Amino acid sequence: MKKSDFMFDLPNEFIAQYPKKKGKSRLMVLHRNSGKIRHKSFTDILDYIKPEDCLVLNNSKVIPARINAFKASTGSRVEILLVEKKADDLWKAMVYPGKRAKVSDEISIDDKVKCTVKSIDSSTGERILKFNGINGNLLYYGETPLPPYIERAPEDIDIKGYQTIYAKKDGSVAAPTAGLHFNRKILDELKKKRVKVTEVTLHVGPGTFRPVRTENIEEHRMESEFFTITEEVASVINATKKNGGSVFAVGTTTVRVLETAATKKGELIEKEGRTDLFIYPPYEFKIADHLLTNFHLPGSTLIMLVSAFASREMILKSYREAIKEKYRFYSYGDAMLIL
């Protein structure tokens, strides 16, 4: 398939720049079997998840990974996006603009904290930075790493707005955005219904923002991201399916964990490691029965995944309907439930 098969026109006015109060987003419900679309409020998700079902969340926590700095030799401003901690003083990171961060260059965060560029990955542009002068946690110097299509500086509202209420494990540089819609009341109501609420982990890396640069999508390669699913969670999900319940995956990151840890027989196993699974049509899903997601960028790996879950034609039709009905798109946008 071609990247152009997944393109659509989206006026900038529909790209959400601020979060809504959790639980207050709109919810489009797409029925795959019939193609019917329903326009709901997010709280209506309670009507679709039954007591015998299982809700799977990604509990990764967004770290304050964006750091404003300057090149020590010239004073030129640079921006560091921390990607992955390698040691107490060693991080994989993106640096913008890259031309100001060559090997052996020194970058300063303040008068005491500095780092040196140790190496550069020519394929991704990622740097290995060695820090010195750190007094405590390096993340103290960072701020919320808002995606590039949110065209403003981070504000106090983003500290909670760009974080799920159930985030536990530090490691993401982008939010698993489908989970941003849940508030405590909705999760408590699901638990009262005896819905099994479980958690996996996938730390979202900067690759989530990287465009597909090949027209032939089969040539695209995903960047690997750390994930884990415990034996307990795998057992709960396996039991749900065995007993006739449905698995509701919250977000594309959750789907990728489930599919990575699934056996050919369609059973989940305990697993930890890195996944570069790229899901696009056609794809046979083994675990997730339903998917809660946001509205994604044209030509992105995310819209390709949801197009595999429903169909390309159905997704593009629903996106046209979303634009007509003035839904909010992307990270701070509204939600879509694919049944």
Query: For residue range 192-210, what is the model confidence (pLDDT) as tens digits?
Result: 999 999 999 999 998 777 7
Return the pLDDT at 133.
81
Q: What percent of the chain has pLDDT over 90?
A: 89
What would the pLDDT profile of 287-305 be if each residue is shown by its tens digit? 999 999 999 999 999 999 9
Q: Which of 10-14, 93-97, 129-133, 205-209 has the lowest mean pLDDT?
A: 205-209
Average pLDDT, the chain: 95
Q: Which of 32-41, 132-141, 209-218 has the lowest mean pLDDT?
A: 132-141
Return the pLDDT at 207.
78
pLDDT at 252 > cutoff 70: yes
Residue 221 CA to its chain's centroid (Å): 17
Neighbours of 108 (CB within 10 A): 17
Residue 117 and residue 98: Cα distance in Å, rounded?
11
Mean pLDDT of 221-225: 91
Domains and CATH numbers, the chain: 3-62+156-338 (3.40.1780.10), 66-141 (2.40.10.240)
In sequence order, what E strands does 88-192 have? 90-96, 106-108, 114-120, 127-132, 169-172
pLDDT at 263 > cutoff 80: yes
Which residues, including other chains, have CB under 8 Å from residue 175's CB and lie 6 or more apart? 62, 162, 163, 164, 204, 331
Return the pLDDT at 111.
86
What would the pLDDT profile of 98-152 be if each residue is shown by its tens digit? 999 999 999 999 888 999 999 999 888 999 999 998 766 788 899 999 999 999 9
Q: Which of 131-135, 203-207, 239-243, 312-316 has the lowest mean pLDDT?
A: 131-135
Tokens of 76: 């030129």
Mean pLDDT of 152-171: 96
What would the pLDDT profile of 167-189 be if each residue is shown by its tens digit? 999 999 999 999 999 999 999 99
